[in-house]
Amino acid sequence: MKRAVFRNRLLPWVLLAPQLAVTFVFFLWPAAQAGWQSFLREDAFGLKTTFVGLANYSRLLDDGEYLNAVGVTAVFSVSVAVLGMSVALLLALAVDRMVTTARGYTTLLVWPYAVAPAIAGLLWWFIFNPTIGLMPHVLGLMGIDWDHSLNGNQAMILVVIAAAWKQISYNFLFFVAGLQSIPASLREAAAIDGAGPFRRFLTITFPLLAPTSFFLLVVNTVYALFDTFPVIDATTEGGPAQATNILVYKVYVDGFLGLNLGSSAAQSVVLMAVVVALTVVQFRYVERRVEY
Amino acid sequence: MATIALQDLGKTYAGGAPAVSGVSLDIADGEFVVLVGPSGCGKSTLLRMIAGLETITTGQVRIGSRVVNDLEPAERDIAMVFQNYALYPHMTVRQNLAYGLKNRRMAGAEIDRRVAEAAAILEIAPYLDRKPRQLSGGQRQRVAMGRAIVREPAAFLFDEPLSNLDAKLRVTMRGEIRQLQRRLGTTSVYVTHDQVEAMTLADRLVVLNKGRVEQIGAPLEVYRQPATVFVAGFIGAPAMNLLNAAREGGAVVLGGQALAVAAPPGAGPVVLGLRAEDLHPASPGTPGALDLAVTHVEELGAQRLVHGHVAGQPLVAAVTADLALADRLALGLNPRAAHLFDATSGRRLA
């Protein structure tokens, strides 16, 4: 790494100041406030505030709805990550085989990433709308009765598709780059060594993509845990009967709709702890595995 | 072990000029053939067509008694050594060697035996449990060779395997490849752009230019009797001097001066080829001697290369290091060492 040497001791801090200010105002300060808030209990009108210690946290452990949300979040995150990554990998493998048209397909496949999550959610809400949507009609012809506002499993499928769809573009780009960094001669050598296409993928391509895959797994999990609020809000609003109420959506519902600020703050602190843990694991693991 | 026969082989990429055309070649069992030519001459494409990594547009490739045009690379019973070695980075050396055998469902004991044998031959046994990135360039090169050897294939294909090594190691590995091939007696096709490598390794050379065969022959034969101007200029270091000349009255005439070289019958301009080592200093004023206007000198230790111009055309002469040099140097030439080519067709004349 290149090291810059500053004679003036103040200059580095002045140069860093804008970034630090943004981080402080929009991240550290709210995070600290949430941390403090999680030890408090406030009445609905904000007239009286009491310090309750860890009571907000211990209540979460007894709260059936919260434990349900943990389970829903686990199912949702794993499904989004697996669906988003496997479809992206298939598309990347297909594009990697193209010789002349790869750029065109890549551009088209990257477009969905530019769509805002709320709009993506709305798009899928329209497509799967039981009254006006196209898919319920098609599914109806196949004998499947689609109504995600009544059926919890169908609601989960809908939010998983809507959330994964956007992420496919992102994953796809990384997989394409990963595939292109594998020298063609490795696959040719494997072909001469008697490995068929499937075996080549399994024994050569996939192991060499492992660092990319692991990085994407963490990014996608974090995405599913945090950035999918608009998708849920635009499609199911956590329903029906809590079937799609993931943790980050529950933070919003409990805090801003239920006005239980203490509990909401405690929940967001727990989420924050989860993402910190995931990031630490990622860096440890990737640093060890990225060089073979 | 097998023969390889190429019959009128051609390759054209979609919307492009032919990369290889009309190549016919019979390679005997156990023979070491080197394909040599400048970059872009189609030598690698030709090798990859034999390997099955490029489709064949026209013609036929036979390995042994089988036509392999439509066979997968794995079914052709060949092994290839790549320029960048193409070792599997996530596998140990042992796994790299065993990979091709495992894919062919060979018994574990037999795999172990072959890997141990190849490791012993190539002296890589101490590194069997290392990953490729922990090896030096020369060791990687040996592992790449080992991966070919364990397969005991009908033929080895080498695609510029030494070009990523430093000059000294290249010479060592060159010798090792030659000895190894002699010992195993496996038919080999070797691609290189380095004519010294080609000369030293080959039983037979195939000189390629622009996708076509310029000449096929034993290294010394190609060196002594280059069939075309291209081969004359490509094989040999320093490159052969090629001078535009005319023929008048049965002699070759250069810059208005008749040389002691008999012109073959016919008319039209010729190219006179003279190797630097076939020129020797003469006393000034000798009839038929070349008058070299010296521009600069390269010292090689035992020899020195004198660069200059004769009748306005560049020329290099190799002289002994103790020769005193002036601005001009008279050079005599041995008429038997002169090569004559037709200036329009580039073909050798008599």
* pLDDT score at B300: 87
Residue contact B84–A185, C-beta within 8 A: yes
- Which 8-state DSSP code applies to residue B264? P
Q: Is the dihedral of CA A99, A100, A105, A107 positive or negative?
A: positive
The total of structural domains in chain B comes to 2
- Determine the residue of chain A that is closest to B83 in CA distance: A185
pLDDT, tens digit, for every residue of A86-120? Answer: 999 999 888 887 766 777 887 888 888 888 877 88
Asked if residue B349 is part of any domain, the answer here is no
Same domain for B65 and B92? yes
Same domain for B171 and B40? yes
Block residue for tokens 């040999």? B236
Compute the distance between CA of residue B152 and CA of residue B114 in angstroms, rounded to an integer.
9
Q: Which residues of A touch B103 (CB under 8 A)?
A: 193-195, 199
Residue contact B86–A208, C-beta within 8 A: no
* pLDDT score at B5: 93
Q: Where are the alpha helices (DSSP H) in A181-240?
A: 184-192, 197-200, 206-222, 229-235
Same domain for B131 and B34? yes
* pLDDT score at B219: 94
Block residue for tokens 């320093």? B238
Give, rounded to a whole angstrom, the gap between the first and last alpha carbons of chain A: 22
3-state secondary structure of B227: coil
Q: What is the pTM of this model?
A: 0.79
Torsion of CA A110, A94, B79, B50, to 10 degrees: -110
Q: Percent of chain A scored above 90 by pLDDT?
A: 16
Neighbouring C-beta atoms of residue B44, cutoff 10 Å: 22
pLDDT, tens digit, for every residue of B246-269? Answer: 888 888 888 888 888 888 888 889
Same domain for B113 and B189? yes
Asked if residue B233 is part of any domain, the answer here is no
Same domain for B194 and B288? no
**What is the average pLDDT score of chain B?**
90
Same domain for B249 and B318? yes
C-alpha B131, offset from chain centre: 32
Tokens standing for residue B29: 């069992």
pLDDT, tens digit, for every residue of A227-247? Answer: 888 888 888 777 787 778 888
CATH number of the CATH domain containing B181: 3.40.50.300
Asked if residue B137 is part of any domain, the answer here is yes
Same domain for B216 and B256? no
Domain boundary among B176, B202, B227: B227
Same domain for B218 and B242? no
Asked if residue B99 is part of any domain, the answer here is yes
User: Where residue A25 falls among pLDDT bands split at 50, 70, 90?
Assistant: very high
3-state secondary structure of A41: strand
Same domain for B196 and B295? no
Domain boundary among B227, B256, B273: B227
CATH number of the CATH domain containing B312: 2.40.50.100
User: Where residue B241 falls among pLDDT bands split at 50, 70, 90?
Assistant: very high
Is the confidence at residue A66, as pLDDT, over 60? yes
Q: Which residues of B touch A192 (CB under 8 A)?
A: 51-53, 73-74, 78-80, 100
Asked if residue B348 is part of any domain, the answer here is no
Residue of B53, B90, B133 with shortest CB distance to A188: B53
Going by C-alpha positions, the residue among B192, B278, B296 that lies closest to residue B238 is B278
Same domain for B73 and B178? yes
How close is the nearest chain B Cα to the Cα of A273, in Å? 34
Same domain for B206 and B292? no
**A105 Cβ neighbours under 8 A, 6+ residues apart:** A94, A95, A98
How close is the nearest chain B Cα to the Cα of A132, in Å? 49
* pLDDT score at A99: 64
Average pLDDT over residues A212-218: 86
How close is the nearest chain B Cα to the Cα of A194, in Å? 5
Same domain for B87 and B215? yes
* pLDDT score at A255: 80
User: Where residue A290 falls among pLDDT bands split at 50, 70, 90?
Assistant: low
Residue of A192, A204, A291 with shortest CB distance to B74: A192
Average pLDDT over residues B83-106: 92
* pLDDT score at A52: 79
Torsion of CA B6, B12, B17, B20, to 10 degrees: -10
Show the domains of chain A with their CATH numbers. 33-289 (1.10.3720.10)
pLDDT, tens digit, for every residue of B132-179? Answer: 999 988 899 999 999 999 999 999 999 999 988 888 888 988 998 999
Compute the distance between CA of residue B164 and CA of residue A252 in angstroms, rounded to an integer.
60
Asked if residue B161 is part of any domain, the answer here is yes
Compute the distance between CA of residue A245 and CA of residue A241 in angstroms, rounded to an integer.
9
Asked if residue B347 is part of any domain, the answer here is no
Domain boundary among B205, B227, B249: B227
Q: How many CA atoms lie within 13 A of A60 on its CB side?
A: 23
Residue contact B86–A183, C-beta within 8 A: yes
pLDDT, tens digit, for every residue of B7-43? Answer: 999 999 887 788 899 999 999 999 999 999 998 899 9
Compute the distance between CA of residue A231 and CA of residue A119 in angstroms, rounded to an integer.
8
Residue of A185, A186, A193 with shortest CB distance to B103: A193
ipTM value greater than 0.85: no
E-state strands within A67-205: none
Asked if residue B151 is part of any domain, the answer here is yes
Residue contact B99–A195, C-beta within 8 A: yes
pLDDT, tens digit, for every residue of A156-165? Answer: 888 898 888 8
Query: Angle of helix A261-289 relative to helix A206-222, nearest 10 degrees?
Result: 170
- Determine the residue of chain B that is closest to A99 in CA distance: B14
Which A positions 207-226 lie with beta carbon below 8 A of chain B?
207-208, 210
**What is the average pLDDT score of chain A?**
84
Q: Which helix (H) or strand (E) holds B146?
A: helix B137-150
Residue contact B73–A185, C-beta within 8 A: no
**A188 Cβ neighbours under 8 A, 6+ residues apart:** B51, B53, B73, B80, B82, B86
Q: Which residues of A touch B83 (CB under 8 A)?
A: 185
Tokens standing for residue B171: 């010479």
Compute the distance between CA of residue A129 and CA of residue A81 in angstroms, rounded to an integer.
24
Angle, CA of A71, A76 and A77, to the nearest 5°? 100
Expressed as residue numbers, the domain containing B71 is: 4-227
The residue among B80, B143, B149, B189 with the most chain A CBs within 10 A of its CB, best to mutate, is B80
Q: Yes or no: say if A73 and A246 are a contact pair by the CB < 8 Å rule.
A: yes
* pLDDT score at A162: 86
